[in-house]
Amino acid sequence: MRYYPLLALLALSYPSVSQAATVCNGYAELCSKAFNDVTVVGAHNSYTASNTNLAANQDYGVTQQLTDGVRLLQNQVHLQNGQLRLCHTSCLLYDGGLLSDYLTKVKTWMDANPTEVVTILLVNIDNQPATSIAQAYVTAGLDKMSYSPPSATLANDAWPTYGTLIDSGTRLVNFMDNTANFASVPYIIDEFSNLWESHFDIQDASGFNCTIDRFTGKTDGQMYLINHYLYTTSSLFGGSTPVPNKAALNVTNAVSGPGSLGEEAGTTCIALHGRAPTFLLVDFYEYGQGSVFQVAATHNNVTYVPKAIAAVNGTDNAGPSSANPGSVTSTPNAAGQRFTSSLSALSVLAGGVFFGSLVAL
């Protein structure tokens, strides 16, 4: 008969217990907070990283967005020539490449940052089945990292904490605006039965009023997303075209003041709904040099620690190389460069009329 040392017997008798997360998204205080009770900054049309493209809503690519603190990545998915691609309303306007390639970048960043919870929100423009969307997650290796809830719709008190998501290794939470199918792909969660959104396509700051716009079922106490980005109009091809109002960004993204993110997320939203937004969706997040992240920190009751925002990040950087967000000196990414020829094609095909209402989505 063979005898084992005492320590070996103890190891066999008692299963190992994994170390609980002590820091979550940069703060110990967030580990005990439920997913829906943490406020994070989101990048509107995250994939549209270009500084010379009228259809772009961001200056920097997804890796830089995540590095700087963006934790909600909103994207539009289109079926183009049999491929799932990230495009802005039409792939003629802006083709951001394959969904699977984008998700691979997210996977690489998350592997290097194991204590971060990230959310992806997919706008499924062409109503592709959840099983098709899931293939891109499998290709990128994000399916196993994604959180699968116990049911298609969760009660407000049923969301796991950030610490639980990190400890379980399922710290990517995915929502999709339509065709989500809990039975076939439980980790792609139906958006509007679990959260609501405020109005979008706002061209006057008075429209930042935190009113409920898109939802399914009850909204009482539910987590929500505010679309806090401003548009203006530009004359193009003889028509009036909505484009991001970059001139107003230092006000729109500000901590306080009329029309600011801080005012809508704080004063307005809390007065109306009794709770802060879970998601703050913005354009060109680097304007304000961290102001959008300061707003989120305030609602999370944590101390905001200023840091350099949007430093150059290799090939994933498509934005200004200067610390001044208004200084645009670099070259747009390859996908964004397709936009110039696309504009010419659109002007010929539709006499400029087609483009007029597309950029604002």
Task: Report the catalytic residues.
Answer: 44, 88
3-state secondary structure 208-266: CCCCEEECCCCCCCCCEEEECCEEEEEEECCEEEEEECHHHHHHHCCCCCCCCHHHHHH
Q: Which of 64, 21, 20, 32 is nearest to 46 (CA)?
A: 64
3-state secondary structure 83-137: EEEEEECEEEEEEEEEHHHHHHHHHHHHHHCCCCCEEEEEEECCCCCHHHHHHHH
Distance CA 296, CA 159 (A): 19
Stated length of the chain: 361
Tokens of 268: 């307005």
Instruction: Compute CA 346 distance to the chain's CA centroid, rounded to the nearest angstrom.
Output: 29
Burial letters for 29-45: b for 16+ Cβ neighbours within 10 Å, e otherwise?
bbbebbbbbbbbbbbbb
Distance CA 259, CA 143 (A): 39
Distance CA 120, CA 67 (A): 15
Distance CA 339, CA 359 (A): 12
C-alpha separations of 22 from 8, 11, 334 in Å: 29, 25, 40
